[in-house]
Chain A
Amino acid sequence: MKVLVIAEHDGKSLRAASLSCLTFAQQVAQATEGTVSWLVLGSQATGVAAEAAKFAPVLLVESSRLARPMADSCAAAIANVAKNHNVNLIAAASTSFSKDVLPRAAALLGGAMASDIVRHEVTAEGLLFDSPQYAGAVTATVQLLGSPQVVSVRSSAYPAATPAAAPFGIEAIAMEDATLASRCEFVELKTKQNSRPDVTEARIVVSGGRALRNSADFEGLVGKLADVMGGAAGSSRALVDAGIAPNELQVGQTGKIVAPELYVALGISGAVQHLAGMKNSRTIVAINSDPDAPIFDVADLGLVGDVYEVVPQLIERLQSR
């Protein structure tokens, strides 16, 4: 199979999630005696393309119209490349970028798409994909009918690809301005300055729930514990809804999906929608004042207690180690 991986980047560097998606693509290509290339879209993306080329050959579409990754222009570019290069499978890491862009590209290419896949299998009848449904309660094994096939891949399900001994080539593709025109105009991106890693990229995630009463407490308990553990701070939906934590910290069915080595849930009840985002973590620690909180059903280590008392003690002990 000829596999195309959409590289997600911020103009400067590749996102880690894309490297996990590349591993998926390499596995499929290997099992089907196929090939893999990246598709890098951007306005000044030669740096990103060079970084990507350490891992696999790169197709590069550069245009000032791609300065912001708008769904209509990115989808048109992806469909254009897929058609001209006879691509059989298009993959991107499951992120808010690809959730926006990829289905739109898939629709331009016939509509064969599977979302959020966590496993694949190459069979005589073709590729099968596992895709979680019902907030992760059920896993469906699905087959796509039609070509090209389009999939978004959960980065937590595949390890990051490793660079090759020597870099691959970069092929620039010219595309007409009309193809790349967007009818969406970017106004602004409000992002909270965050010195901590993203929840999807950290080895340790400390998340806070409704037990935290305000932003200062969230920062002082959840943020501080994340810092002393060298991890990322995350949140349940409840705190984001309350304006106590920014939306990009939300873990769960509609937030980010994480599977770190250690997930610490502070004052989170353990609703199915939250569990959907973290239950594949290697070790789960729960601290909750309610001994019957459902989070304890999935926790490897549970401590019944008030986060306002327990967390400062944890921070102090860890700092004095």
Chain B
Amino acid sequence: MKILVPTKRVPDTDQKIVASDDGSRVNVEHIPFIINPFDAIALEEAVRIGEQRGDVEVVAVGIGGEGYEQPLRTALAMGAQRAVHVRCDESLDPWNVARLLQAVVLRETPQLVIMGKQAVDDDANQTGQFLAALLGWPQATFASRVVVEGDRLTVDRETDHGIETVRLPLPAVVTADLRLNEPRYASMAGIMKARKKPLDVIAVGDLPVAIEPRLRVISYRSAESRKRGERVKSVDELLDRLTQPGAALHKRG
């Protein structure tokens, strides 16, 4: 069985992120880049499925510029057998990422694609569902548990109304939610081994996809920060403030 895991390189959003003064971009140069946390979870899940079954090849895919080699090496150190870097220097919207992934899936013919449910930079939550539709495959989004049995999957999904369990046939696309697992850190031995694992580079022009933008960003602006309020000293003072006329706990009528 082959599992494909798309991994996006994103700025670490635990750092303070602001728009540039002219609004043309987001200032990220000074920020360390990481594998999108949801993709790291997807990768961990693929590696675990491999460890349980033994007959699994996990292939990590990255689409983007030069900086992508490093997260792909990390993916290899975490246990992927192979990595594919689709070299593309222009910035892509989720639609075109999904179309390029579709082309990679047609080349690699995996039975399963596991990817993060969203990337923490654009927070779009679209690419996995786009890819499933383009491939005509069933999807199980926001997974918190994945069980592979033969050519079927049983997936627990996190929904607004609780945990939904669904069953679906392979091939399929699964998108990972936070509680699916806790990704391992790459060990020193893993990092050493990763250096020898294959990392193929494909020029974006070598895939049969013409980029067709669907989402244009006109401008970015930093969120207004909330004004820091006051400290109250006691429960009584807090309640006084909350029950004043106009306040949320003021008794009407």
Give A contacts to B, CB under 8 Å: 10, 70-72, 75, 95-97, 99-100, 102-108, 110-116, 128, 132-146, 182-192, 198, 200, 203-204, 229, 237, 240-241, 246-248, 253-254, 256, 261-262, 271-273, 279, 282-285, 296-304, 310, 313-314, 317-318, 321
Contact = CB atoms under 8 A, between A and B. Distances in A.
B162 A240 contact: no
Contact of A138 (B18, B117, B213, B234): B18
Contacts of B154: 187
26 contacts: A97-B159, A103-B94, A103-B126, A104-B132, A104-B133, A112-B214, A115-B124, A135-B13, A137-B18, A140-B122, A141-B218, A144-B215, A144-B216, A185-B167, A186-B165, A187-B165, A189-B164, A204-B248, A204-B249, A247-B144, A248-B161, A279-B223, A297-B225, A298-B228, A299-B228, A303-B234
Contact of B217 (A95, A141, A283): A141
A27 B88 CA distance: 39
Contacts, number: 256
Contacts of B121: 133-134
Interface string B203-244: 000000000011111111111011011111111101101110
Interface of chain B: mostly helix, strand, loop or mixed:
mixed
B152 to A, nearest CB: 9
A115 B119 CA distance: 12
Interface of chain A: mostly helix, strand, loop or mixed:
mixed
A240 B164 contact: no
B223 A317 contact: no
B227 to A, nearest CB: 8
Question: What 3 A-B pairs have minimum CB-CB distances, sorted nearest first?
Answer: A191-B162, A107-B133, A111-B95
B81 interface: no
Contacts of B160: 95-97, 198, 200, 248, 256
B177 A254 contact: yes
Interface of B: 11, 13-14, 16-19, 26, 94-95, 98-99, 117-118, 120-126, 128-130, 132-134, 138-142, 144, 154, 157-169, 177-179, 213-223, 225-226, 228-236, 238-239, 241-243, 247-249, 251
B222 A111 contact: no
A138 B222 contact: yes
Contacts of A113: 94-95, 126, 214-215
Nearest to A286: B229
Contacts of A112: 95, 214-215
Contacts of B165: 186-190
Contacts of A71: 129, 132, 138-139, 141
Given A103-B129, A115-B126, A139-B222, 6 more contacts: A141-B218, A145-B214, A183-B169, A190-B164, A300-B229, A321-B251
A303 B231 contact: yes
Contacts of A185: 166-168
A142 B217 contact: yes
Given A142-B218, A203-B248, A302 B232 contact: yes
Pick the most buried of B19, B167, B213, B218: most chain A CB atoms within 10 A of its CB. B218
A262 B163 CA distance: 28
A177 B32 CA distance: 50
B238 A314 contact: yes
Contact of B133 (A75, A137, A190, A285): A75
Pick the most buried of A103, A247, A283, A300: most chain B CB atoms within 10 A of its CB. A103
Nearest to B241: A301
Contacts of A283: 242, 247-248
B162 A246 contact: yes
B220 A140 contact: yes
Pick the most buried of B125, B138, B161: most chain A CB atoms within 10 A of its CB. B161
Contact of A133 (B123, B216, B239, B241): B123
B213 to A, nearest CB: 6
A206 to B, nearest CB: 11
B223 A137 contact: yes
A312 B163 CA distance: 32
B126 A138 contact: no
A128 B221 CA distance: 14
A241 B179 contact: yes
A198 B13 CA distance: 28
Nearest to A139: B221
A69 B93 CA distance: 27
Contacts of B122: 133-134, 140
Contact of A186 (B166, B221, B231): B166
Pick the most buried of A70, A95, A254: most chain B CB atoms within 10 A of its CB. A254
B145 to A, nearest CB: 11
